[in-house]
Structure 1
Amino acid sequence: MTLYLGVQSSQFVNIRVTFKNSPIHILEKFAFKDVFDAHQHLLNLADLQECIILQTCNRVEIYGVGLNPDYDNLINAWSSLINLPADQVKNNIIINDGEEALKHLVNLTSGLDSLVVGEDQILGQVKRSLEFSRKNGFAGPNLNILFDKTIKIGSRVRTLTGINKGSTSVGSMAVNLAYEYFDDIKEKEILLIGSGEGASLIAKALKQRNMKFFVTSRTFERARSFADTVAGSPIPFETALEKINDNIDIVFISTVAPYYLLTYERIANMMKNRNKGLMIFDLSNPRTVEDKIATLNNIKLVNIDQISEIVEKNVGRRKKEIQSAEKIIDDELIAIKEILKRKSSEPAIITIFKNADSIRNKEFKKALSLIGNRVSDDDVKILEQFSYALVEGILSTPMNNLRKEFTSNKNENELINLALKLFNYEKP
């Protein structure tokens, strides 16, 4: 359905490649290496007046506004920017315009279109994309309104529902559990064993809470590279084991080792020389911490199955909130469309007022020339104010009624054309 953004019927469009319709190895080919250049290219070659590009690890999306957007030009412009055949681009993209594009944007900012329902990260990514385009002059009044409104809706959905409540990754859930378990966790010594994707999620969760930690891996070079890229203080593996013996309080393990890194015998010997407890999170699959360790005194062992169960419950709770989120979205979409309709009527209403004022001014001057010097300067001011009040009094009611009618009328352009025809004015 058409979504008019102005009296000239500018159209809102969205074309995208996401994890929903393309695997990651294909999606990566659609990313723009130079986002600034991509904006300029699309504005120049794709019949767009405004443009915002949203690019994350799970999606590449183009939002635009144009009088008559040509989708073939959009596809060809995207194709030339990423050096892929136009047919391949066409076969992998989803195209929405008008109300469908607006609904997608609201679902996106509300977390309903994310890989993990309700995740918060996308809201920040949308904000940064808007700020980049706004700062560089790529986003104009239409996209500014649409993105500002939909970002607020995304925040409202998260405030009024539980769609973003509870951790949905094993790594962040483990960190949350540790945070809740210790009152003084920031004073604890933490060790992370591993350097893969799972370890990366743990490290990011620790970093987000401003918690310092050591990181180790099979080789020191791998641990150092991980620390430089993600977070943590790298230490050699053997040094890490010595630290467990001495002063480490919490251990997170996420590796793909096919054997136990922490055996019952090793930990039992360590605990003989320790005066404090040890909490271990085994997030490896297969497990790399021997289950029997949980029987030792002053040891708290949490494995991946226990955490996964909690995560699944959180995901289930979030999915139950989708219906509540959709109700909020539907109500807000109605409000946005009414705002856009009122905005669309303003150029015509301004034109009517300007033309009426031009007639008022012309007739006022004509009347003054006929009166001559028979009235004082104060009388002239009174007559001029009278002329303003007369025009305002005549036009205000019909123009306000026109605004109201415009928000509820499905034939917006016909209504505007009729109003302009009544006053014998050209469409602006």
Structure 2
Amino acid sequence: MSQNIINARVTFRNSPIHILERFTIKDIEEAYDQFKKHSGLDECVIIQTCNRIELFGKSKSQEVDKIKKTWASLAGLEEQVFDENMEVEENQNALHHLLKLTSGLDSMVLGEEQILGQIKNSITSARERKASGQHLNTLFDKAIRIGTRIRNNSGIGKGGISVGSMAVKLAEENIDELKTKKTLLIGTGEVSTLVAKSLQRRGYAFDVTSRTLSRSETFCETMGGTPVKFEEILSGFDNYDVIFVATTAPYFLVTYERITEAMKDKNKGMMILDLSNPRTVDEKVATIGGIKLMNLDQIAEMVEKNMNARLNKVKTVESIINEEVSVLEASMKRLEAEPLVKDVFKNIESLREKELQKALQMLDEKDEKRIKIIDELTKAVVESIVSTPMNNIRKASEQGNPEVVDLASKLFDYKKQEQAD
């Protein structure tokens, strides 16, 4: 492809959560501006979840060093830290990875549904900010459709275990008679939604808190649970036996001091599950007597032990992906010919209309029905002459023969213009 598709990523695959969170991009809107200005990318899409930060970009050349530099600047990091943690793939390999993402094959919980929604939100966000264009919009739309079809046909997500339900399962395994315990959910985002769904499905009562009471109330209306004021929670951790923390706060919300105070007069232990990225529970909390603290890294270990039932479907999904990636690659290559094809059709249509008007004036034709017949005739003639060579140019582009597109550009005197998609 003359247009390079690049994927640069830092994920749970090779970076534990405490390392991964350092690469978090805090201001996505600013990030899009910076990547477009400084990284050499014409288009870009950022996917950021609790388990990964990924950038998909389109450029005319290999821009990895510029991407590192821009990302390092946004995250406040030295460029060297990217060498150990960042993976980079291009073109076919990048497309293959995106299909693994949309089909659920690269998730911490194999086949989980959440990532598909996050990818949809990411491309929507990129579109709204005009960060993505024709190439990445086409790529993501097709990858989402293919991923959905793979999930439906393979059953890879059947009986899906999300990060939220995995966390609830951990609580069940570590707390006796969970239904009799007091449970708190801090946060109202995507991960909190998954936790709430799992708690509700299992029949557990739980309280919900977030920065504003109105947000908690709205959340509870649809997800269940009882809204509680945030201020009451900060001094009332001692009221709870299980706390799920899933926020995006850039600081420790559950501090060593607060939990130490909460455990002073508490006879029973407490389990805290930190599902946030960056983490919002101070690691030192784990050293307090009676506290069981678990984070996303530990959930990842449990995922490994509980996914055997789905592993036999992985080969099927990988086989489908290998077939689909070539189709996806052909679609991307075809885009290279589209500006030329559109330009040719536009110029020919302009000539057709011009000559049609001349002919109608010479005929002094007034009958609308006859004018429509003549108009349709000229369109059919143009279409029958032009469609075959244009489709051949598209096919040549799909098959990776850019020299045919270059030759056609000369034949049709096409002057390529750089336009914002």
Counterpart among 311, 314, 322 of residue 322 in structure 1: 314
| Structure 2: unaligned runs, 5 residues or longer | 187-191, 208-234, 248-261, 273-285, 294-301
Give the CA deviation at 1:37.
Answer: 1.4
Name the SS for the 2:131 alignment partner.
coil
Aligned length: 340
Taking only the aligned residue pairs, the percentage that are identical comes to 37
Aligned pairs (5 A) from 1:221-236:
221-224=237-240, 229=245
Give the CA deviation at 1:351.
Answer: 2.0
- CA deviation profile, 1:121-175 (whole Å, cap 9, x unmatched): 2222222222222233323232222222222223222222232234487654589
Aligned mates of 1:415, 1:113 — CA distance in 2 = 37
1:43 alignment partner in structure 2? 36
Partner letter of residue 396 of structure 1? S
Aligned mates of 1:214, 1:352 — CA distance in 2 = 63
Kept in 1: contact 2:182–2:242 (CA 8 A): no
- CA deviation profile, 1:84-142 (whole Å, cap 9, x unmatched): 11222344211112111111111112121122222222222222222222233323232
1:273 alignment partner in structure 2? none
Aligned mates of 2:329, 2:304 — CA distance in 1 = 37
Counterpart among 373, 381, 384 of residue 393 in structure 1: 384
Instruction: Give yes or no for the alignment of 1:351 onto 2:343.
Output: yes
2:281 alignment partner in structure 1? none
2:409 alignment partner in structure 1? 420
Name the SS for the 1:42 alignment partner.
helix
Kept in 2: contact 1:32–1:82 (CA 8 A): yes
Name the SS for the 1:113 alignment partner.
coil
- CA deviation profile, 1:326-364 (whole Å, cap 9, x unmatched): 122223223323333333322212222233344445656
Partner letter of residue 54 of structure 1? I
Kept in 1: contact 2:109–2:303 (CA 8 A): no
Aligned mates of 1:359, 1:202 — CA distance in 2 = 58
Aligned pairs (5 A) from 1:17-416:
17-68=10-61, 70-166=63-159, 167=161, 172-173=168-169, 190-192=179-181, 204=196, 206-209=198-201, 211-213=203-205, 221-224=237-240, 229=245, 315-360=307-352, 375-378=364-367, 386-407=377-398, 409-411=399-401, 413-416=402-405
- CA deviation profile, 1:4-35 (whole Å, cap 9, x unmatched): xxxxx432211111122223222111111222
Kept in 1: contact 2:135–2:335 (CA 8 A): no
Aligned mates of 2:129, 2:303 — CA distance in 1 = 41
1:270 alignment partner in structure 2? none
- CA deviation profile, 1:257-286 (whole Å, cap 9, x unmatched): 999x9xxxxxxxxxxxxxxxxxxxxxx89x
Q: Under a length normalisation based on structure 2, what TM-score does the superposition of the two structures give?
A: 0.65
Give the CA deviation at 1:42.
Answer: 1.2
Give the CA deviation at 1:318.
Answer: 0.9
Aligned mates of 1:156, 1:363 — CA distance in 2 = 48
Aligned mates of 2:337, 2:158 — CA distance in 1 = 41
- CA deviation profile, 1:377-402 (whole Å, cap 9, x unmatched): 45877666554443333222332343
Aligned mates of 2:405, 2:92 — CA distance in 1 = 20
Kept in 1: contact 2:44–2:56 (CA 8 A): yes
Shift of the 361–102 alpha-carbon distance from structure 1 to 2, 3 Å rule, reads: same
* Structure 1, 73-82 or 204-213: larger mean CA deviation: 204-213
Kept in 2: contact 1:43–1:50 (CA 8 A): yes
Kept in 1: contact 2:32–2:44 (CA 8 A): yes
Aligned mates of 1:42, 1:311 — CA distance in 2 = 34
Partner letter of residue 21 of structure 1? N
Shift of the 13–365 alpha-carbon distance from structure 1 to 2, 3 Å rule, reads: same
Shift of the 400–82 alpha-carbon distance from structure 1 to 2, 3 Å rule, reads: closer
Partner letter of residue 153 of structure 1? I
Partner letter of residue 393 of structure 1? S
Aligned mates of 1:424, 1:28 — CA distance in 2 = 51
Partner letter of residue 16 of structure 1? R
Partner letter of residue 140 of structure 1? G
Kept in 1: contact 2:182–2:240 (CA 8 A): no
Name the SS for the 1:403 alignment partner.
helix
Kept in 1: contact 2:44–2:57 (CA 8 A): yes
Shift of the 340–203 alpha-carbon distance from structure 1 to 2, 3 Å rule, reads: closer
Partner letter of residue 131 of structure 2? F
Larger Rg: 1
Kept in 2: contact 1:190–1:214 (CA 8 A): no
Kept in 2: contact 1:16–1:95 (CA 8 A): yes
Shift of the 27–190 alpha-carbon distance from structure 1 to 2, 3 Å rule, reads: same
Q: Under a length normalisation based on structure 1, what TM-score does the superposition of the two structures give?
A: 0.65
Aligned mates of 1:258, 1:30 — CA distance in 2 = 29
Kept in 2: contact 1:24–1:58 (CA 8 A): yes
Q: CA RMSD in A?
A: 4.4
